[in-house]
Amino acid sequence: MTVSPSYDAIVIGSGIGGLVTATQLASKGLQVLVLERYLIPGGSAGYFEREGYRFDVGASMIFGFGDRGTTNLLTRALAAVGQSLETLPDPVQIHYHLPGGLDLKVHREYEAFLQELIAKFPQEAQGIRRFYDECWQVFNCLNAMELLSLEEPRYLMRVFFQHPGACLGLVKYLPKNVGDIARRHIQDPDLLKFIDMECYCWSVVPADLTPMINAGMVFSDRHYGGINYPKGGVGKIAESLVTGLEKFGGKIRYGARVTKIIQENNQAIGVELANGEKIYGRRIVSNATRWDTFGSLMTDQPLPGKEKRWRKNYQQSPSFLSLHLGVAADLLPTGTECHHILLENWDDLEKEQGTIFVSIPTLLDPSLAPDGYHIIHSFTPSWLEPWQNLSPQEYAAKKEADAGKLIDRLEAIFPGLDRALDYMEIGTPRSHRRFLGRQNGTYGPIPRRRLPGLLPMPFNRTAIPGLYCVGDSTFPGQGLNAVAFSGFACAHRLAVDLGAK
C-alpha cells in the first residue's frame, strides 16, 4: 500500500544532531517534523530544575560558539534560523588534578597553556610545541572550509578546488590517531599519559584510540573559538533551535515515543509511535544511537552488513554515575575554575568510576542557582551492568554508597564539600537509559581496538534507502560540536537527495 508522505523529513529525537538537521532542512523550505519522547528538547544537552537549581544533564564544557572561522557550528546552526545566544567565555578549559602531583590548567590563551605544561616537563619543551602545533595544522585545514556532507561529490569537488591544500592535509590525517602523532614528538611516559587524559576527557578513550582529526579540532578550538557557556544553561541551545525550527515552519512533538521505523519495499517511509499512530515522510532521520536504530526500532529487519561491520569496529562507551549538587558558595575559594578532572592513579584512567569530571557552571552564570549557592555537577564513567538486577532498596543503597565514595574523593580538591551540601540528585546508567532513551545509557561509540583514525566511522546515509542516522554514532563522533557537524552534513546530504537547494 502506497501512502502519501505528510513531511519531507521526520527526525526521531531532539538531541543537538537531530535539531541541527531539522533546522537546516527547515531553513531550506522543507517540511520537517521532530518527534521527541521526553517533555523537553536536547537529550544529553538538556536540563532539569530542582529547588531553585537549573542543572545541565551533561557537561557544560561547550565548543562551537566562536565568532570567527567555520568550526563555530553552534553559532552557525542558530544563525541559520535567526537565533543567537549570549555566551560567557571560560578562561580555562580544564584544571587537571592528576597522579604524581601533576596539577595544571589548560588556559584559553595558547601560549599560557604551553608555558604551564613545559614548566612541568621542561625536557620536552620542543616536543610539546611540535605536538600541539601539529594539532593546529589539522584545525587550520578544517577551519578553512565550510563543513558539510563528505558523502556529497559536488561539495567535495567544490571544496577541493577552493582549498586543495586543506583537503590534502585532512586526507593525510584521516587515518591517524593521536598516539601515532604524540610519540613522534614526545618520549616522557608521564607526558604521554597526560596526552591520554587530554583525549580521554572528551573521547572516553586514550590517545591510541582517538582520531587525530577530532583532537585537532578540540585541542586547538579551545584556544581559537574558546569554551563559551550559554547564559541560562546548556538547555538554552536546544530551546533556541526549537524556536528557530518553528519560526521556519518546522514542527516538534513531545511525549512522542517512536517504537518502529516503517518500511515498504525495503525503504523507510515512516514511523510508528507507542500509541499506534503512524506518520509518513519522504525521508526518516534517526538521532537515536545506531544500536537503537537498527535494534529496537527495526526489530523485523535483518541487520545490514554495513552495520555488522560497524559493530565489529565499535562498542558502546560507558554511561555515567552523575552527582548534581547544590553547595554553599563559600565552599569554593576565589580563583576556582569551572571545569576539573580528578584522577589519583593512572591505572584507573579507564576503569569503572576511575576518572572524575567536574563542572561548576554557576562560576560563569550565577543565575542557575539560588543566591549564596553553586552547582557542582560531578560525573564518572559507569557501566549499566553493576546497576542491573537490584531491588529498589539495593538500588537506592548502591546510589548512596557510590555517591558517598565520589564525594569523599572530591574532598581532595573541594575540602568541606560534604558539609556544604544543600541538595543532591544522583543519576546512574539506568537514569540515562530511561530519560535519554539510549541503549544501556551509553554516551556513544568507542573503538573496540585500534582503528585507522576516522576512516571506519559511517556517514549519514544508511543501507536502508530513505533512512539516515545523525548524532554521535555517525562521523565525526561524540561531542556537542561534533554532533552539530553531523547535523549539518545530514541535512546537506538529505536536501541534495530531495532536490532542495
Residue 306 lies in a domain: yes
pLDDT at 156 > cutoff 70: no
CB 144 within 8 A of CB 166: yes
pLDDT at 144 > cutoff 90: no
Cα–Cα distance for residue pair 31/271, rounded to 1 Å: 16
pLDDT digits (tens, 9 = 90+) for 221-268: 999 999 999 999 999 999 999 999 999 999 999 999 999 999 999 899
Residue 30 lies in a domain: yes
Residue 325 lies in a domain: no
As a whole number, mean pLDDT of residues 138-147 equals 83
Q: How confident is the model at residue 322 (pLDDT cuts 50, 70, 90)?
A: very high
164-178: burial string, b at 16+ Cβ within 10 Å, e else: eebbebbeebbbbbb
Cα–Cα distance for residue pair 181/102, rounded to 1 Å: 22
pLDDT at 143 > cutoff 90: no
3-class DSSP assignment, residue 316: strand
Lowest mean pLDDT among 29-43, 167-181, 335-349: 167-181
For residue 130, count other CB atoms closer than 10 A to its CB. 15
pLDDT at 63 > cutoff 70: yes
Residue 19 lies in a domain: yes
Residue 32 lies in a domain: yes
Percent of the chain with pLDDT over 70: 97
CB 300 within 8 A of CB 35: no
Taking CB atoms within 8 Å and a gap of at least 24, the contacts of 423-426 are 423/50, 423/51, 423/53, 423/324, 423/325, 423/326, 424/323, 424/324, 424/325, 424/326, 425/50, 425/55, 425/323, 425/324, 426/321, 426/322, 426/323, 426/324, 426/399, 426/400
The residue range of the domain holding 34 is: 7-46+76-85+231-313+451-498
As a whole number, mean pLDDT of residues 132-145 equals 89
Q: At what angle do helices 125-142 and 178-185 cross, to 10 degrees?
A: 140
pLDDT at 158 > cutoff 90: no
Q: How confident is the model at residue 332 (pLDDT cuts 50, 70, 90)?
A: very high
Residue 470 lies in a domain: yes
pLDDT at 1 > cutoff 60: no
Among residues 85, 109, 105, the alpha carbon closest in space to that of 95 is found at 105
3-class DSSP assignment, residue 37: coil
CB 38 within 8 A of CB 435: yes
Residue 345 lies in a domain: no
- How many structural domains is the chain composed of? 1
φ/ψ (deg, to 5) at 340: -135, 150
Lowest mean pLDDT among 85-94, 374-383, 471-480: 471-480
Set of cell numbers at residue 409:
574523593
pLDDT at 157 > cutoff 90: no
pLDDT at 167 > cutoff 80: no
More reliable by pLDDT, 421 or 150: 421
Cα–Cα distance for residue pair 9/241, rounded to 1 Å: 17
Lowest mean pLDDT among 19-33, 135-149, 384-398: 135-149
Q: How confident is the model at residue 161 (pLDDT cuts 50, 70, 90)?
A: low
> Identity (one letter) of the amino acid at 120?
K
Cα–Cα distance for residue pair 468/488, rounded to 1 Å: 13
Cα–Cα distance for residue pair 330/420, rounded to 1 Å: 8
Cα–Cα distance for residue pair 150/47, rounded to 1 Å: 32
pLDDT at 166 > cutoff 90: no
Cα–Cα distance for residue pair 439/443, rounded to 1 Å: 9
Percent of the chain with pLDDT over 90: 78
More reliable by pLDDT, 283 or 44: 283
pLDDT digits (tens, 9 = 90+) for 75-122: 999 999 999 999 999 999 999 999 999 999 999 999 999 999 999 999
As a whole number, the mean pLDDT across the chain is 93
**What's residue 148's pLDDT?**
72
Residue 373 lies in a domain: no
As a whole number, mean pLDDT of residues 364-372 equals 97
As a whole number, mean pLDDT of residues 167-193 equals 91
**What's residue 155's pLDDT?**
65
DSSP string spanning 66-96?
A: -SSSS--HHHHHHHHTT----EEEESEEEEE
Residue 24 maps to which CATH number?
3.50.50.60
**What's residue 444's pLDDT?**
86
**What's residue 114's pLDDT?**
98
Residue recorded with cell 573559538 = 225
**What's residue 2's pLDDT?**
61
Q: Report DSSP state, residue 304.
A: P
CA distances, 213 to each of 167, 415, 455 (Å) = 12, 39, 10
Pairing outcome for strands 102-107 and 92-98: antiparallel
Q: How confident is the model at residue 501 (pLDDT cuts 50, 70, 90)?
A: low
> What's the alpha-carbon Rg for the chain, to the nearest Å?
22
For residue 456, count other CB atoms closer than 10 A to its CB. 16
Cα–Cα distance for residue pair 406/325, rounded to 1 Å: 12
**What's residue 8's pLDDT?**
96
**What's residue 22's pLDDT?**
98
As a whole number, mean pLDDT of residues 216-222 equals 94
As a whole number, mean pLDDT of residues 3-13 equals 89
- The residues near 404 (Cβ < 8 Å, ≥ 6 apart) are none
Cα–Cα distance for residue pair 218/198, rounded to 1 Å: 10
